[in-house]
Amino acid sequence: MKHTAVLIGAGNRGQIYAKYAKKHDLKITAVADPDPLKRQRIAALHEIPPSQQFSSMEHLLQGKRLADGAILATMDSMHATPAMKALKLGYHVMLEKPMGLTIRQCEEVAAISQRQKKSVLLCHVLRYTSLFARIKDILSSGTIGSIASILHTENITPFHMAHSYVRGNWRNSKTSSPLILAKCSHDLDLISWFADSRAIRVSSAGGISHFRPENKPVDAAARCLDCRSVCPHNAYDLYVRATPMLQSFALNRSAAGKGARLLLLFPFLKRLIPGTDPWTHWPTSTFSDGSKDQTIAALKDGPFGQCVYAGLNDQVDHQETWIEFENGTTASFRFHGLAPQEGRTLRVDGSLGCLHATTMNGGSLKVILHRGKTIHFKERFSMFGHSEGDEKIVLEFKSVLEGHPGRSDARSSLESHRIAFAANESRLSGRVVKI
């Protein structure tokens, strides 16, 4: 039996999921997005008739159910309400994180999921990568004994920070969600998954250290296209040439890093690779149809062409969070948006040894036992597609539609959200928050 899904939100994430749905024979029967170009891309890929193309999610979610499942890839503020509506209509739901903008919204989604007996598969895609899945297996096997502490770091480069959280859709925590939820819910989900316990106390501190008006160069203009200042965040360099992104990837010893170094050393190669001259892939694809003229027009008037030091953002660029779990495990999570290289690092200490892992330079994983033995594992990690996580979560959703239990559900996903909301409260209040 061929299973079906509707797609709500045809932006970058929606297009990725639609591509993998096509690859794995999950038919998208209807699409909703206010942008006609984005709708048409999905419609062409999945041969969706005009009658099943909707300009709003409200229109798609009215009346009868149109498929077995619903993939919701909308903006943060448009997650909880359509998810609840889809569940009530009888859809299984694959939902982009976060689940909601308040803990009450998240709990309501989980409650409706349970009441309707319909699954909510939250897109914590790192769970589905071979690296993190192997880490979970190692910890669950008792190889390093009982877990005492977890030390986890997420490194974000300034170009990514500036694109998404200074200029982009998540620059304002009140209209999107706090960065600890918008970006770091992946990390908090992993920490919660590894600890395998309920968090009981959270403390957090952080702030904006760099992207502030007082750090603006004296000769900087309000918009990049009018600016003569030498700046690593120049919008033309980022969105037409993609130079800051390539420089970041070039530090990586993986295949992606080698490719980036070649494009930097031999710029003429971009003319030979579709979509790289001018740059039409992410991050430019966030707001442009790919043409150079359309990109430049957007930079003249839109948020992605504004100075990063204008002070229009309120998202922190560094934050430390400390978590105590009911089983006695403690965790420290550090995020910073000024790293030279993207990636995550992890150390888990147990009663018999410790585990070290990183997603940088193609990924690595080892266990060092107290008796002196070191075990190296072969799992790798690609910076593209969250390694294989984006594809595997679509496969997981297809499996859920076939009647199989998912690796996570709304209830288990609540735990990382509780930690994120508590961390944000602690950062703002300066006190320890009990959950």
Mean pLDDT, all residues of the chain:
93
Enter the pTM of the model.
0.92
pLDDT at 174: 83
pLDDT at 163: 95
Taking residues 283-293, report their average pLDDT: 86
pLDDT at 175: 84
Taking residues 148-158, report their average pLDDT: 96
How many angstroms separate the CA atoms of 329 and 388, rounded? Answer: 29
pLDDT at 408: 82
Q: What is the pLDDT of residues 4-24, one digit of tens each?
A: 999 999 988 999 999 999 999
Question: 136 near 193, Cβ under 8 Å?
Answer: yes
pLDDT at 406: 81
Side chain identity at 92, as an amino acid letter?
Answer: H
Strands 343-350 and 147-155: antiparallel
Contacts of residue 166, Cβ cutoff 8 Å, sequence gap at least 6: 211, 308, 312, 313, 315
pLDDT at 229: 87
Q: Is the pLDDT of residue 386 over 90?
A: no
Region at 228 (left for phi over 0; alpha for psi -120 to 50; beta for the rest): alpha
Domains of the chain, first to last: 4-122 (3.40.50.720), 127-211+313-434 (3.30.360.10), 213-305 (no CATH)
Question: Which burial class, exposed, middle or buried, applies to 291 when counting CB atoms under 10 A from its CB (0-12, 13-18, 19+)?
Answer: exposed
Q: What is the pLDDT of residues 218-229, one digit of tens each?
A: 899 999 999 988
pLDDT at 288: 87
Taking residues 51-62, report their average pLDDT: 95
Share of the chain above pLDDT 70, in %: 100
Q: How many CB atoms lie within 10 A of CB 326?
A: 12
Question: Which burial class, exposed, middle or buried, applies to 165 when counting CB atoms under 10 A from its CB (0-12, 13-18, 19+)?
Answer: buried
Q: Is the pLDDT of residue 290 over 80?
A: no
Taking residues 401-428, report their average pLDDT: 92
pLDDT at 255: 80
Beta bridge mates, 334: 153, 320
Q: Is the pLDDT of residue 405 over 90?
A: no
Taking residues 118-134, report their average pLDDT: 94
DSSP H or E stretch at residue 415: helix 410-429
Q: Is the pLDDT of residue 384 over 80?
A: no
Taking residues 28-41, report their average pLDDT: 94
pLDDT band at 321 (very low <50, low <70, confident <90, very high): very high
Taking residues 307-334, report their average pLDDT: 96
Question: 126 near 193, Cβ under 8 Å?
Answer: no
pLDDT at 345: 97
